[in-house]
Amino acid sequence: MDYVTLGRTGLKVGVAGLGCGGFSRLGLGTGKTEAEAVALVKRAVDLGVTLFDTAAAYGTEAVVGEGLAGVRDRVVITTKANILDGDKRLGPDKAVASLDNSLRLLRTDHVDVFQLHGVRAADYDYAVETIVPALRREQAKGKFRYLGLTEGAARDHRAEMLGRAVKDDHWDTAMLAFHMMHQHARKAVLPGTMAKKIGTLVMFAVRNIFARPERVSAAMKELAAAGKVPQSLADTPEPLGFLLHEGGASSLTDAAYRFARYEPGVDVVLFGTGDAKHMEANVASLLKPPLPAADRQRLIDLFGHLLGVGLVGAAPPQAKAG
């Protein structure tokens, strides 16, 4: 594993972080048992993964806690609480209760990073003025070490919320969407995180679009019809085939992880999985060198202007902590 420092937290973490939500939810979302999910967490530790990102809404905190029970002092655990129930704002007592329940399920007396989950731009001031002060009191009690927040990328393609957040001093970490066809964070978010030394966790490097080539082809047809990419990309069965060559990427997934990992300002790239072999392949990709410079530049030239591609389903469920 390669290790980096997670911004101003000073935490040393592996560049490959296990995302415990998404569609797979450590396999729980695809029919795997809790025992299999626990085994997957343990396999991640064996591979050198040290950052595990979960949330109250994912329903995976208990299996993460069980999987990490014997290695708590060697890993970094991040979890999240919603500040909304549907469109209703939750009070600070709910955030504190969510934190306490997360600690119980995770079998730990503290989490390393506690994050507000999928904050909307319209709720940012509420989060800062109402939720953060209550959480600071819990932080002073030792319940979490650092405070972060995550964006709801599906509804905030321009990263308006994070664009505001990175100008403040409240946040030690930020989770953002970034991938080969949604590169907006390069200008909207990452300059701010680097200036403030805010640790960054990247989500959606692969999920939704690059895991299945047919989804890329469908997206290209829609984008070409809208005049947003060259028609030639819609006319070829492998529009990103230029990435797959000797000395380049071995697959679209491989390319996607490597593109995200080496973006300036990115600390950790999260991957989700419900399968050990898939996990091993993801980690291997994240440990490879950068894509060839010409390939990376071509991705920037072709897609750097796009917004929101492949982020359907990115918004977190607004479920109560349970």
The rounded distance, in Å, linking the Cα atoms of 233 and 235 is 5
The predicted model gives 71-75 an average pLDDT of: 97
Task: State residue 30's pLDDT score.
Answer: 93
Decide if 318 is inside a domain.
Answer: no
Q: What is the 3-state secondary structure (H, E, C) of the chain?
A: CCEEECHHHCCEEECEEEECCCCCHHHHHHCCCHHHHHHHHHHHHHCCCCEEECCHHHCCHHHHHHHCCCCHHHCEEEEEECCEECCEECCHHHHHHHHHHHHHHHCCCCEEEEEEEEECHHHHHHHHHHHHHHHHHHHHCCCEEEEEEEECHHHCCCCHHHHHHCCCCCCCEEEEECECCECCHHHHCHHHHHHHCCEEEEECCCCCCCCCHHHHHHHHHHHHHCCCCCHHHHHCCCCCHHHECCCCECCHHHHHHHHHHCCCCCCEEEECCCCHHHHHHHHHHHCCCCCCHHHHHHHHHHHCCCCCCCCCCCCCCCCCCC
Decide if 134 is inside a domain.
Answer: yes
Could you tell me the pLDDT band of residue 322, with boundaries at 50, 70 and 90?
Answer: very low
Could you tell me the pLDDT band of residue 102, with boundaries at 50, 70 and 90?
Answer: very high
Average pLDDT, the chain: 95
The predicted model gives 188-197 an average pLDDT of: 98
Q: Please state, for a pLDDT cut of 90, what percent of the chain lies above it.
A: 94
pLDDT in tens, 28-38: 999 999 999 99
Q: Is the pLDDT of residue 266 over 50?
A: yes
DSSP β-bridge partners for residue 147: 114
Decide if 317 is inside a domain.
Answer: no
Decide if 308 is inside a domain.
Answer: no
Decide if 320 is inside a domain.
Answer: no
Could you tell me the pLDDT band of residue 313, with boundaries at 50, 70 and 90?
Answer: low
CATH number, position 277: 3.20.20.100
Task: State residue 207's pLDDT score.
Answer: 82
Least confident stretch, 78-87, 180-189, 202-211? 202-211
Decide if 313 is inside a domain.
Answer: no
- Where in the sequence is the domain holding 139, given as residue range(s)? 3-303
Task: State residue 12's pLDDT score.
Answer: 98
Supply 194's token pair.
């680097």
**pTM, two decimal places:** 0.95
Could you tell me the pLDDT band of residue 205, with boundaries at 50, 70 and 90?
Answer: very high
Task: State residue 320's pLDDT score.
Answer: 30
CB 313 within 8 A of CB 118: no
One-letter amino acid for residue 292 of the chain: P
Task: With CA atoms as reference, report the closest residue to 19 among 205, 288, 194.
Answer: 205
Q: Is the pLDDT of residue 318 over 60?
A: no
Q: Please state, for a pLDDT cut of 70, what percent of the chain lies above it.
A: 97
CB 65 within 8 A of CB 105: yes
Q: Is the pLDDT of residue 285 over 90?
A: yes
Question: What total number of domains does the chain contain?
Answer: 1
The better pLDDT of the pair 22, 97 is held by 97
What value, to the nearest 5°, has the Cα angle with vertex 22 and ends 191 and 7? 30
Decide if 79 is inside a domain.
Answer: yes
Decide if 311 is inside a domain.
Answer: no
Alpha-carbon distance values, 30 to 22, 34, 36 (Å): 11, 11, 11
